[in-house]
Amino acid sequence: MARDKGAMRIMAVDELAEALGIAPGMALADARARLPDLQTTPYDPASDARWLEELADSCDRFTPSVAVDPPDGLTLDITGCAHLWGGEAGLMSALAAHLVQLGLTLRLALAETPDKARALARYGGEMLRVGRKLSPRNLNEAGLGYQSQPRQTSLQDARTPRDVMDLPIHALGMPDEKITALRRAGLRTLGDLAVRPRAPLAARFGKAMVAQLARILGEEDVRITPRRVPPDISVVHRFADPIGHSDTISATLQSLATAAVQQLAQRGKGGRAFALMLFRSDGQVQRLSIGTGQATRDPNLVLRLFQERIETLADPLDPGFGYDLIRLDIAETEPLEADQLGLGERDTPDRALNLLTDRLSVRLEAGRVRRFAAADSHIPECAGFTVPAAHPLLPLAHHAPVSGEPPLRPLHLMDPPQIVQVIAEVPDGPPRRFRWRRQVHDITAYEGPERLSAEWWKRRDGAGLTRDYYRVEDHAGRRFWLFRHGLYGREKDSPDWYLHGLFG
Amino acid sequence: MVNIVDSHPSLAGLKRQIAALTPSAWAEGRSRVSFGLDPLDGRLEGGLARGAVHEVLPRAEGDWASASAFALIVARRAAENSGKILWLSSDAQRRRYGTPYGPGLAELGVDPDQIILVYAPDDLACLKAAADSLACTGLAALILDMGATQRLDLTASRRLALAAERSGVTALLLRPPASILASAAASRWQVAAAPSAPLPGNAPGRLTLSIALLRHRGGATPFDMVVEWNNEYRRVCEPTLLRDLPAPHQRRQMVA
């Protein structure tokens, strides 16, 4: 239940409540009047969405291309995946069995385009619940969008135009007033619409409606946007009995890696990002990913990095009742010359260094191993931009120091800048003395200000405070980089001072 | 009479084992990292040992940036123009002193592309990453900044020293001021900031450090010295203007 327009309303009901006449949209007071024993829990869309994501994860076992259709739907693109499950019928019953086992009530449909499948699932057919015996035949009776004729091998045969035609016009997902208008015109099913010329329909009800109709009828094919980019290469191992022993898992990993690397070699490519998906028989999924700085086709390197990754897990791998499917995806590939491996140059300095950064990236997480990258900005913190070591951005150009000039930029940059108390003779003059971390520094030498304005052209309001940077040295010879944030009198009445960096 | 120690096979074996375990980086014949300043290199018989661990301590908390600059100088001398330097620091140190800054490194004469930054979440991860880095022959130098920690004890530092010797990576350990923990480092330095020779207009000058050798495995006598880093030629030089500088109290009057 949730609060809607001042009244508590029922958002969703379970099977029993539905049987007793409670429906979503009903006010809580009405429902209570009918059923005093009604148990309610607050509506929590965020955790529903999380759960849907988890469900999508567990459906990754059927195809790498899964899209979430909020608030309560999933769309799976099973192109090229059905043969692994003994055809479309086999995949459908495996999917239904998997989801029903998780305690779901569901509507399933299979069609050649995503929108058609979505319309069939949401507005046609009957619900599948726990306790019903599942078989292809049973599924078909439940109104699923495919027919289990013996000849049926492809979607062309599985096409069910009549089913779509029978769907109510609600399936178009139009606002209520348009639906009413359609109904007043005597149009009740999609079939009524489909036989009419489209141009007048578009003129009366809008182009969007006609486009949606074309999609649902399968005339137009708009692919789903999967949650993750489907991997270039994906190798799967399914187990008749769930496995849980770590030796078996690593042996499987080894064979998967070898198989994947063979595919890479055939295409003349090397992998840069790998993901290992461990599907538990109870629907939980664990996803481990690794990346390498250089494209690789070395199965041992992949194995080593995955071992490293497994060792760094906060909670060790928990197979529960065992994994029944393990998949290795290669998410990112790059062309790789065939001769890069096996010339015995594994110990060249570059290779050793790449291995080190890869291992550290896997163990400490990739964001912790960084290098400097070029950034086109005069804002100091942007100019010292760093990226993960394996990132393809260009490195920071090295400008040779100017003869006789001291360094004008600090060796260490504070992030964020540290606020300091500064005494200056005049508010817009150089600092005389400052206090940082409970220590007072008397400034004996300074240079500045170096005035850096904010990137006003990037901001809509054109605002942003100007910074006046000073290079200062204190009585002990320590060198600091200070700035005054805002021009005195023009941008700010009492600008704050910050310490932004330490020179050696 | 036969020496009882040498005669006993197991004891002799143990002695050999100990000899093999002890880092010999300070032994003769190893290549050295010179500072490029004759009086300084002369006292160290040519420079600091390559493939060894050197400790750098700031004199006081506020001298930390100077100590890290000194470590960077040694690393840059060891890496020369193209070698890679891995800067490994713990998150605590990163929060305290900020992160190495690319444009600043470039102005000190270090190509930012030579630097790999690694941030470890805690001391243990830091130490493990250090051990891995020191085993990597593709690296020229490692700067390890862990702050105050009990983990970097004698055993750990000996392990690092052995790894450094095997791979030839020069390691620089930034330790907190007045660290008393024993270590297997080949040398120990104390570094403080020193007033630079001001440029026209009383602008702060080049990187100037007051360095002191506290300990040296090769037997060099401790000394202290004020040096300047020439960012153009990438070498340490004498602060040429030092004698012309007014004393600190005069300078303060000048400014006031």
Neighbour-count burial for B106-140, b at 16+ CB within 10 Å, e otherwise = bbbbbbbbbbbbbbbeebebbbebbebbbbbbbbb
Q: Greater confidence, A187 or B254? A: A187
Say whether pLDDT at A474 is over 90: yes
- Pick the residue of B66, B91, B101 with the most A CBs within 10 A to test the interface with A by mutation: B101
- B-chain CB neighbours of A470 within 8 Å are none
- A-chain CB neighbours of B80 within 8 Å are none
Say whether pLDDT at A209 is over 80: yes
> Residue A267: which of A342, A328, A343, A333 has the closest Cα?
A333
A331-335, B130-134, B214-218: least confident range: A331-335
Q: Are A398 and B108 in contact (CB under 8 A)?
A: no
Measured CA distances, B165 to A197, B73, B161 (Å): 83, 20, 6
Question: What are the tens digits of pLDDT across the range B41-56?
Answer: 999 988 999 999 999 9
- B-chain CB neighbours of A444 within 8 Å are 195, 248, 251-252, 255
Q: Is residue B8 part of a domain?
A: no
Say whether pLDDT at B219 is over 50: yes
Query: What local confidence, expressed as pLDDT, does residue A157 receive?
Result: 36
Q: What are the φ/ψ torsions at residue A181 (nearest 5 degrees)? A: -60, -40
A123-137, A146-160, A472-486: least confident range: A146-160
Q: Are A80 and A65 in contact (CB under 8 A)?
A: no
Supply the DSSP symbol for A181. H
Q: Are B111 and A395 in contact (CB under 8 A)?
A: no
What is the strand order of the sheet A269-280 is part of? A233-243, A323-335, A269-280, A285-296
Out of B104, B210, B229, the one facing A409 most closely (by C-beta) is: B104
Q: Which domains does chain A have, with CATH numbers?
A: 2-34 (no CATH), 53-229 (no CATH), 233-339+350-361 (3.30.1490.100), 412-503 (no CATH)
Question: What are the tens digits of pLDDT across the range A161-175?
Answer: 457 777 888 888 788
> A327 Cβ partners below 8 Å, 6+ apart?
A60, A61, A64, A234, A235, A236, A237, A256, A276, A277, A279
Q: Are B160 and B154 in contact (CB under 8 A)?
A: no
DSSP A75-114: EE--TTTGGGGTHHHHHHHHHHHHHHHTT--B-----SSH
CA distance A76 to A114: 8
Query: What local confidence, expressed as pLDDT, does residue B162 receive?
Result: 93
Question: What are the tens digits of pLDDT across the range A50-61?
Answer: 888 888 888 888
Query: What local confidence, expressed as pLDDT, does residue A132 receive?
Result: 44
> Residue A328: which of A408, A274, A273 has the closest Cα?
A274
Q: Greater confidence, A205 or B68? A: B68
> A169 Cβ partners below 8 Å, 6+ apart?
A179, A182, A183, A187, A188, A189, A190, A192, A193
Question: What are the tens digits of pLDDT across the range B88-105?
Answer: 999 999 999 999 999 999
When pLDDT is cut at 50, 70 and 90, the band that residue B129 belongs to is: very high
| Peptide linkage before A495 cis (omega within 30 of 0) | no
| Peptide linkage before B239 cis (omega within 30 of 0) | no
Q: Is residue B57 part of a domain?
A: yes
CB B113 to CB A385 under 8 A?
A: no
Q: Is residue B16 part of a domain?
A: no
Say whether pLDDT at B70 is over 90: yes
Q: Is residue B110 part of a domain?
A: yes
Tokens of B208: 């100037």
Question: What are the tens digits of pLDDT across the range B224-248?
Answer: 999 999 988 899 998 865 545 544 4
Alpha carbon of A453: minimum distance to chain B alpha carbons (Å) = 18
Question: What are the tens digits of pLDDT across the range A430-451?
Answer: 999 999 999 999 999 999 899 9
Say whether pLDDT at A503 is over 80: yes
Query: What local confidence, expressed as pLDDT, does residue B8 receive?
Result: 63
Q: Greater confidence, A225 or B155? A: B155
Say whether pLDDT at A243 is over 70: yes
Out of A363, A383, A501, the one facing B98 most closely (by C-beta) is: A501
Identity of the residue numbered A347 = D
Domain count for chain B: 1
- Whether the predicted interface score ipTM is above 0.90: no
Once rounded to an integer, what is the mean pLDDT over residues B61-66? 94
CA atoms within 13 A on the CB side of B156: 19
CB A353 to CB B102 under 8 A?
A: no
Query: What local confidence, expressed as pLDDT, does residue A76 receive?
Result: 87
Percent of chain A with pLDDT over 70: 89
Q: Is residue B1 part of a domain?
A: no
CA distance B40 to B227: 9
In whole numbers, what is the pLDDT of chain A averaged over residues?
Answer: 81
Supply the DSSP symbol for A471. E
Q: Is B92 on the interface with A (CB under 8 A)?
A: no
Query: What local confidence, expressed as pLDDT, does residue A346 receive?
Result: 52
Question: What are the tens digits of pLDDT across the range A101-145?
Answer: 777 777 788 887 888 888 888 777 656 655 444 444 444 444 343
Query: What local confidence, expressed as pLDDT, does residue A105 receive?
Result: 78
Measured CA distances, A211 to A23, A113, A187, A196, A404 (Å): 32, 14, 17, 14, 70
Query: What local confidence, expressed as pLDDT, does residue B241 receive?
Result: 59
Q: Are B49 and B164 in contact (CB under 8 A)?
A: no
Out of B106, B116, B209, the one facing A389 most closely (by C-beta) is: B116
**CATH code of the domain in which B161 resides:** 3.40.50.300
Burial of A303 (0-12, 13-18, 19+ CB in 10 A): middle
When pLDDT is cut at 50, 70 and 90, the band that residue A146 belongs to is: very low
Say whether pLDDT at A462 is over 60: yes
Q: Is residue B38 part of a domain?
A: yes
Query: What local confidence, expressed as pLDDT, does residue B247 receive?
Result: 46
Cα Rg for chain B, rounded, in angstroms? 20
When pLDDT is cut at 50, 70 and 90, the band that residue A8 belongs to is: confident
CA distance B147 to A501: 19
Out of B104, B116, B193, the one facing A407 most closely (by C-beta) is: B104
Pick the residue from chain A with its C-alpha nearest to B255.
Answer: A444
Q: Please, which residues bridge with residue A419 across strands?
A: A498
Per the listing, tokens 């078909």 go with: A140
The boundaries of the domain holding residue B200 are 30-255
Question: What are the tens digits of pLDDT across the range A328-369?
Answer: 988 888 887 765 545 555 557 788 888 899 889 888 887 899
Interface of B with A in 195-224 (CB under 8 A): 195-196, 198-199, 201-210
